């Protein structure tokens, strides 16, 4: 059954904030397993993994980093790395020459300016080679416990679809969403939105008919609204639980969806 959804025409700023916070609450209930999907044990490891995640999947990065982190344990190790050897290690992540250059330069900068220790301040992080604002917020939120909003492709797409913003610039999106959501929730909100983008609200065909946000989303109908068609689009290990949470028969989710690879 197609549900009727308000399009929120003429919504006031206060109304948008209330709706955004309600949607954020539902996202927390929908994705209790949301977390940083890059494996790391130290702030430096997270910085390196995040740099490597550009233009590839977290799964691929996690396949490469165990050996990488065993070989390169400190900033000084990256600074002194043999370029050819490091390039070969990073080759599976794509753009390996540029990533190698970033890691060597990052190591040098940390050794020269920060005694080999990754700083925990935004302005210092973004001044480092290979670390932009998105990467800095990932590091701050997940390695240092400092709330940060990570605007990746999923976050940009979904916040526009949700009607929280009407903007493409990542920095502007970050500040606009920061005004809607309480600061304490910024880091986990980022994870939950990214999880939703990878598992439910896909770029080309979102699973609108199997989405827990359907009644609050002005973009409802962008993808199929019929339950059976939408359920087939759900992905991830909790695909059937996601269907059930949206009031859809979990048996409509094909087995392949539970193990389907996720988009970057």
> Does residue 152 have an active-site annotation?
yes
Check whether 36 is labelled as a binding-site residue: no
The DSSP secondary structure of 23-75, one letter per residue, reads HHHHHHHH-TT----S--SSHHHHHHHHHHTTTS-HHHHHHHHHHHHHH--SH
Tell me if residue 242 falls in helix, strand or coil: helix
Percentage helix, strand, coil, to 5, in the chain?
60, 0, 40
Q: Which tokens in the block code for residue 229?
A: 């068609």
Q: Which of 39, 77, 120, 152 is catalytic?
A: 152
Check whether 201 is labelled as a binding-site residue: yes
CB of 27 closer than 8 Å to CB of 193: yes
> Does residue 25 have an active-site annotation?
no
Tell me if residue 247 falls in helix, strand or coil: coil
C-alpha dist (Å) from residue 54 to 103, 134, 235: 13, 11, 22
Q: How many helices (H) and strands (E) would you count in the chain?
A: 14, 0
Q: Which of 58, 99, 134, 235 is catalytic?
A: 134
Q: Binding-site residues for [4Fe-4S] cluster, please? A: 201, 208, 211, 217
* Active site positions, annotated: 134, 152
Q: Binding-site residues, please? A: 201, 208, 211, 217
């Amino acid at each position: 059954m197609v549900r009727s959804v308000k399009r929120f025409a003429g919504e006031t700023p206060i109304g948008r904030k209330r709706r955004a916070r309600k949607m954020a609450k539902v996202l927390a209930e929908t994705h209790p397993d949301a977390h940083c999907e890059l494996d790391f044990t130290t702030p430096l490891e997270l910085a390196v993994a995040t740099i490597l995640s550009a233009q590839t999947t977290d799964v691929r990065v996690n396949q490469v980093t165990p050996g990488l982190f065993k070989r390169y344990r400190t900033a000084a190790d990256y600074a002194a790395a043999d370029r050819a050897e490091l390039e070969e290690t990073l080759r599976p992540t794509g753009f390996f020459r540029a990533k190698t250059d970033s890691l060597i330069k990052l190591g040098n900068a940390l050794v020269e300016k920060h005694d080999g220790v990754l700083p925990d301040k935004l302005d210092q992080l973004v001044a480092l080679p290979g670390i932009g604002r998105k990467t800095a917020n990932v590091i701050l939120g997940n390695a240092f416990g400092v709330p940060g909003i990570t605007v990746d492709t999923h976050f940009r797409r979904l916040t526009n679809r949700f009607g929280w913003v009407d903007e493409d610039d990542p920095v502007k999106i970050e500040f606009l969403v920061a005004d809607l959501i309480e600061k304490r929730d910024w880091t986990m909100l980022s994870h939950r939105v990214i999880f939703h983008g990878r598992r439910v609200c896909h770029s080309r065909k979102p699973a609108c008919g199997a989405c827990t946000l359907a009644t609050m989303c002005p973009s409802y109908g962008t993808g199929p609204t019929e339950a059976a068609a939408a359920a087939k689009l759900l992905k991830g290990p909790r695909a059937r639980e996601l269907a059930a949470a949206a009031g859809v028969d979990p048996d409509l989710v094909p087995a392949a969806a539970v193990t389907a690879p996720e988009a970057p």
